[in-house]
Homo-oligomer: A and B are copies of this chain.
Amino acid sequence: MAALDPLLHDVIVAAHRLTRIAAHSAGSTTPAAVWSTLSILSTDGPLRIGDLAKMSRVSQPSMTKLLQRLVEEELVYRIADVEDSRAWLIAIGPKGTAALGAWRVELSTQLGPLFADLTTDEAEILQRAARILTARTDTKRKVA
């Protein structure tokens, strides 16, 4: 395989910038972790807090705190885990799905101009890159 150094470096620097641009979007005061979390719940279904923390790559206390807010806003629900009453299953709710959708639209309106002249080919590459990265950064295989 080719040298990984510059590749990962470039990807991560680009990722960092993108993250910051996204954070700025629409003066969004919502932390990126919220979207990451909702997104995981949306694609993977209900999860325990600990697993969610691992998958979002934040500590468990951070996730607990974040969820308190999300529950408060009714973006997600707590479901008692019948098999283990210490644990909760966290599920995305209709409001959460809606918020996620709204954010996507917001993103593309905000970032649209930057990517306006994207060729179909380039879009394809980004899509595939996103898929590759998502697969590699997914902790499900280890967590499950």
Tell me, yes or no, whether A122 is within 8 Å of chain B by CB. Answer: yes
**Which of B19, B108, B126 interacts with A16 by CB under 8 Å?**
B19
- Tally of this chain's copies: 2
Q: Which of A108, A111, A132 has the most CB of B within 10 A?
A: A132
Stretch at the interface among A1-9, A65-73, A84-92: A1-9
**Which chain A residues (1-36) contact chain B, with CB distance < 8 Å?**
1-22, 24, 32-33, 35-36
Could you say which residues of chain B place their CB within 8 Å of the CB of A115?
A: 4, 8, 136
Could you say which residues of chain B place their CB within 8 Å of the CB of A36?
A: 13, 16-17
Q: Mark A93-118, 1 if CB is under 8 A from B, else 0.
A: 00000000001110110011011001
Contact of B129 with A4 in the complex, beta carbons under 8 Å? no
Contact of A8 with B118 in the complex, beta carbons under 8 Å? no
Could you say which residues of chain B place their CB within 8 Å of the CB of A4?
A: 108, 111-112, 115
Tell me, yes or no, whether A48 is within 8 Å of chain B by CB. Answer: no
**Which of B3, B9, B24 interacts with A57 by CB under 8 Å?**
B24
Contact of B7 with A18 in the complex, beta carbons under 8 Å? no
Contact of B12 with A134 in the complex, beta carbons under 8 Å? no
Q: Which residues of A contact B (CB under 8 A)?
A: 1-22, 24, 32-33, 35-36, 39, 56-58, 103-105, 107-108, 111-112, 114-115, 118, 120, 122-123, 125-134, 136-137
